[in-house]
Structure 1
Amino acid sequence: CCVYLLQKETPLANAVFWAARQGNLALLQLLLNSGRVDADCRDTYGTTALMVASYNGHYDCVKELIMQGADINYQRETGSTALFFAAQQGHHDVCKLLFEFGASTDCQTKDGGTALTVASQYGHSKVVDVLLKNGANVHDQLNDGATSLFLATQEGHVTIIRQLLSSGAKVNQRRHCPLWMAAQMGHSEVVKVLLLRGADRDADRQDGTTALFKAALKGYCSVVEELLKFSPSFGLLKNGSTVLHAAVMGGSLRTVQLLLEACADPMLRNRNNELPADLTKNERILRLLRPGICNGPS
């Protein structure tokens, strides 16, 4: 969020920040026209009045500060700019205004965040559209490798996911796999969109778990149904478990039924020839799986 802490020795700057926060254009103009306070006055964290006005979506105050010479691309201590704050809060009109006066999409926060990554994460599709039309890099990513697409996927923002994919975002990422995250969070519509755009149905994480495994473990039936339409693998995973194993452990009868119907010869035991520890806790699943158990490895 936009945090500002003004130094006590600058009462006029304090008044400028208050006017910018409240959207009081008349007061802001009075203070700036007095010649006794700079349009780029800053707090101890480097936050400017322009950032405050942008964060709060006060279009007229933003324009006044720009016309009075405020530095549009100035970065506060964290690396955030006025554009970043406007994008974070979904103020697409303010973003457009900032671009008219030279705002840059290249500025990054200390964690690698950009206006596009934060707008994607918070679900502001109109802002994403403005950013992409003004040169934002669809491949922007945080320092840990999370892309704008991955962040949008995590939160289930389908419209933004479509926007990013249409602009060239990579649907398959090894470290931060969008499909895996969508399955992990139970976003079935996102899973559908990603699969239709060519997502690798069997992509796994470093621990070897696939999207189908995570959906089965959490009992997300709608996600499992979408994945099964693309014939994902049922084989033994790197961690020694199977997808059916995960479904049983998750305790969802419907998920187990879906997997049994989709797989003619399901593997229930893991590489140690062990049955799921929680199997006996759910007698309905036990009865459902009994033929498979009897016919499984001995």
Structure 2
Amino acid sequence: MNRFFPRLLLSIVMTVLLIGSAVAENGTGETMLLQAASAGDVAKVRELLAAGAPVDGRDDAKRTPLLLATRANHVEVAKLLIDAGADVNAKDNIRDTPFLYAGAEGRNDILKMILATGKTNLKDTNRYGGTALIPAADKGHPDTIRILLETDIDIDHVNNLGWTALLEAVILGDGGPVYQEIVGLLVDAGAKNIADNDGITPLDHARQRGFAEIARRIEASLPK
């Protein structure tokens, strides 16, 4: 046997014991996992999880390690946490969750992993009362829209402002190619021309803003 093997094995055991001790002492392991997840430290996250650090620990803003990894787009760390059973619907103090944040900010690799758990709450809403689809449309993430439209998410959900995903794509977009693509995806998937709280429809908003191509796409989707 290689004479260095026992020494290496002892070193590994001692490392695990030290981490385990930190985990058990005053919640230090929870803090360490939050820090490691935020920093994208894959090796440290793996070690801490193996030592029993709580996968859904919270920081002062009630953010979990998975939400921190999602915010920083640390895909490999997110995978470790998801595989360890992290709650994909855990809300922080501003009502963000890993799922909602991944959808809103186009963290598509992480979003796909979250959806693959089968545990995603597609009806969950952010602090504005919107599903993940609405900010994805607002912020110009067509690939995210495609991913979400493959689920049973409510395409015509209305948020606290009285806006649907289609309305936000028109009102908050610039009318350019990205938002034309998003509007096309939404109307092709069956999004309705639902009016806002002032009775103004997405088609009306598009016409008012001079978004001719978007107006054309919406108009073509309306019942004849």
Partner of 1:104: 121
Q: Separation in 1 of the partners of 2:209 and 2:45?
A: 45
Q: Secondary structure at the match of 1:129?
A: helix
Counterpart pick for 1:18 among 19, 29, 35: 35
Cα deviation 1:4-38 (Å, max 9, x = unaligned):
xxxxx755434322322232211111222222x31
Greater Cα shift, 174-183 or 76-85: 174-183
Q: What percentage of residue pairs aligned between the two structures are identical?
A: 28
Partner of 2:140: 123
Partner of 2:51: 34
Query: Which has the bigger relative contact order, CA under 8 A and spacing at least 6?
Result: 2
Q: Separation in 2 of the partners of 1:29 and 1:184?
A: 53
Matches within 5 A, 1:127-276: 127-154=144-171, 155=173, 156=175, 157-173=179-195, 175-198=199-222
Stretches of structure 1 lacking an aligned partner (at least 5 in a row): 1-8, 200-298
Partner of 1:64: 80
The answer to whether the 8 A contact 2:188-2:221 is kept is: no
The answer to whether the 8 A contact 1:105-1:131 is kept is: no
Query: Shift of the alpha carbon at 1:55?
Result: 2.2
- Which AA in structure 2 matches 1:197? S
Counterpart pick for 1:80 among 96, 120, 134: 96
After TM superposition, the score normalised by the length of structure 1 is: 0.59
Query: Shift of the alpha carbon at 1:125?
Result: 1.1
Partner of 1:49: 65
Cα deviation 1:202-253 (Å, max 9, x = unaligned):
xxxxxxxxxxxxxxxxxxxxxxxxxxxxxxxxxxxxxxxxxxxxxxxxxxxx
The answer to whether the 8 A contact 1:54-1:82 is kept is: yes
The answer to whether the 8 A contact 2:140-2:182 is kept is: yes
Query: Aligned in 2, Cα 1:176/1:141: closer, same or farther, shift over 3 Å?
Result: farther
Query: Shift of the alpha carbon at 1:137?
Result: 0.8
Q: How many residues align?
A: 191
Query: Aligned in 2, Cα 1:183/1:13: closer, same or farther, shift over 3 Å?
Result: farther
The answer to whether the 8 A contact 1:87-1:127 is kept is: yes
After TM superposition, the score normalised by the length of structure 2 is: 0.77
Query: Shift of the alpha carbon at 1:46?
Result: 1.8
Query: Shift of the alpha carbon at 1:86?
Result: 0.9
